[in-house]
Structure 1
């Protein structure tokens, strides 16, 4: 099927049937090599992401030529280039570790599930670059890519400052701080996770094919819009980002949903976890997750992950060790275990601490992962379901 699509930018992402040609074979193609597909990138969206990443748009975007001449953008480019050079060293270490330690069968057909992700495409794609589908969910709104064509020089300067603010923690600590994100991702210029994830895609040399808002349960949306309806504190919002490797045209998908994943809140969206859980034999990534899965209020999300996943890569904030230290799971420990940071001391795991002490020396973890990011203090668990264990 041939679709012609283009972006209309504004407070939300809208679609019109004109513009850039995109050829994608839809039916029955998910399991086939995406490199066989002819994909044309959305130039405006990809150029916007590159601009935010401090990269001169390639191919050039004439509408942005005035912006890359500004001193503010040149300073931003210098900062992003310097920071990214340091981050690339860390990512290179992660990639080497991944290639040696994580063995996936049929990785190009897999789904990665990343609960409480925020906009952390960086870690997900570094550890699992060959998955076909990425499913993220967390509290932060998806938002939209900013409209660069109409932005003034003053507004653009503020936008770039907001981008740097949003990236400081992930660049330095390798995680986002939830309480900070509530401010960093709700400025007049950075509205939600989409601009940050798109910028990460540009930094990792990926091009955006399309960005499409998703209403997963339209009947519930209509019901909650009724004046007398009992609605959740936080309405479900979703977006799908299709992106591709320009060298190979390999096509991948990122689904991002903002919602409260606590058991009580999920009563408003009882089918959400079933939707995520349909992607069987998935990979789960959990890090810097505020120990939410240790709390009985998130038991449904925890159960879905245990049921759906064949591989779990996590720090100690993820699924408690007691759920994984028996059949059908095999667990390999890396790095060190340290007691939870304040104010989350309640999530101390004595059994995990003992496992680190009693097992033959846990393997080294040569990169920061989770809250204990300073001084080689991080720990990581790699849990593999026995039917796929190496």
Structure 2
């Protein structure tokens, strides 16, 4: 407890210098062997943000058999991981009766109660008023650089039908029983959730180490946990992929053949929301840098096919400020009716003059030291405009995670969408 309290005194800058945030939390920029030496991509940013770890590219994933899991088992696993009791007839009921899980569940209930009090309640109330018009016109939410962060996007946009998340984290799979029996499981889950529940973003590299230690192999287990803790019921989980043309297809199940070099792995999670409405959540593991999209353009093609978008960007390590992420930035600006972002999203200079209406919330200060070069004088001018004062933001979000330091921008398109 002493060390956690001490860490809070030095956040946000000290925390971020020791950790890598999720593209969401993970936003990374890897220098490819085939790319120019100066080019940044998503993996090099994550490595640069974590000075305690070497900057090594991720290992190529090995082909594995992918099958759709039993729905009841998937829901029970989601509950179990979130510290909520699985169904009485579940094979996990005996594990949930053990003292270790019961202590974990008590701790999770306490952590989530605190999170609801400090974040969810305020976020839900704020979104129901300030985003009311957006909710009525946002069937599809695009969340680039999200990592597994279904938690925040669902809280902000609870009425949407489809959520498209993209990050560098591997897709992962529904955890096997052997993983759930591991004594390392509960500490790993608690460590992975600690920063997102306290500061709204993931410590990506630490999360990867924690989860791999118990063979939780990617984003899906945490997405399932967030679904359960937000009151959603898992109806189905299906391994999918985007083919070379950006079409959504079932993932191959043949373990003897590697995936097509231009295919993008993903997962489809069907949910029933607390009010009974169907939801579909997609997660794709992909590099959204210009070089990554040149190698695998399927994500751009898929997002273009979704129709008018509402885009959500949070804790994005200022990637779309950079030249090397101009393609995904252009995609968002050309195909979004609404953009909700903190200052780490798209820089103000890239919004076409006269094409957008802006609503400012919270407080804009200089970015934390790690991202000081991404300071925006345009935002300072907007936030100090005495004739059009920014509105209050009753919760903390992003790298300046304290409520008194956080900001959000809602951009509403004024001109027709691009074809």
TM-score (structure 1 length as normaliser): 0.82
Asked whether the equivalents of residues 205 and 245 of structure 1 are also in contact (C-alpha less than 8 Å), the reply is yes
Partner of 1:350: 377
Q: 2:368 is matched with which residue?
A: 341
Matches within 5 A, 1:255-274: 255-274=282-301
Give the whole-Å Cα distance in 2 for the aligned partners of 1:264 and 1:65.
Answer: 47
Structure 1 gaps of 5+ residues are: 1-10, 21-41
CA contact (8 A) 1:43 1:61 kept: no
Q: 2:103 aligns with which of 71, 75, 86?
A: 75
The alignment covers a number of residue pairs equal to 345
| Partner in structure 1 of residue 186 of structure 2 | 160
SS in 1 for 2:307: coil
Q: 1:175 to 1:269 in 2, by over 3 A?
A: same
Instruction: Confirm or deny that 1:242 pairs with 2:270.
Output: yes
Q: For each residue in 1:246-300, what CA deviation from the matched residue of structure 2 results, as whole angstroms up to 9, or x when unmatched?
A: 652x111011011111001111112320211222221100010000000110000
Q: Deviations over 1:107-149 (max 9, x none)?
A: 486110000001111110001011111000011111011112x
Say if 2:169 and 2:218, in contact at 8 Å, map to a contact too. yes
Q: What is the TM-score with the length of structure 2 in the denominator?
A: 0.76
Cα deviation 1:141-175 (Å, max 9, x = unaligned)? 11011112x4574x1x3112211111101110011
Do residues 62 (structure 1) and 102 (structure 2) align? no
What is aligned with 1:15? Answer: 68
SS at match of 1:319: coil
**Number of the residue aligned with 2:122:** 93
C-alpha distance in 2 between matches for 1:167 and 1:247: 26
CA distance in 2, matches of 1:67, 1:13: 26
- With a CA cutoff of 8 Å and minimum separation of 6, indicate the structure with the bigger relative contact order: 2
Contact 2:192 2:203 in 1 (8 A): no
Stretches (4+) displaced over 4 A: 150-153, 218-222, 229-232
Task: For residue 185 of structure 1, report the CA deviation from its aligned partner.
Answer: 4.1
- Over 3 Å counting, the alpha-carbon distance change for 1:246 and 1:290 in structure 2 is closer
For residues 137 and 234 of structure 2, the distance between their equivalents in structure 1, rounded to whole angstroms, comes to 19
Counterparts of 1:1-390 in structure 2 under 5 Å?
A: 13-15=66-68, 42-57=71-86, 59-89=87-117, 90-104=119-133, 107=136, 110-148=139-177, 150=178, 153=181, 155=182, 157-217=183-243, 236-245=264-273, 248=276, 250-324=277-351, 326-359=353-386, 360-374=388-402, 376-386=404-414
CA contact (8 A) 1:243 1:251 kept: yes
CA RMSD of aligned residues (A): 2.8
> How far is the alpha carbon of 1:75 from its aligned partner?
1.0
Q: What is the CA-CA distance between 1:106 and the residue it aligns to?
A: 6.9
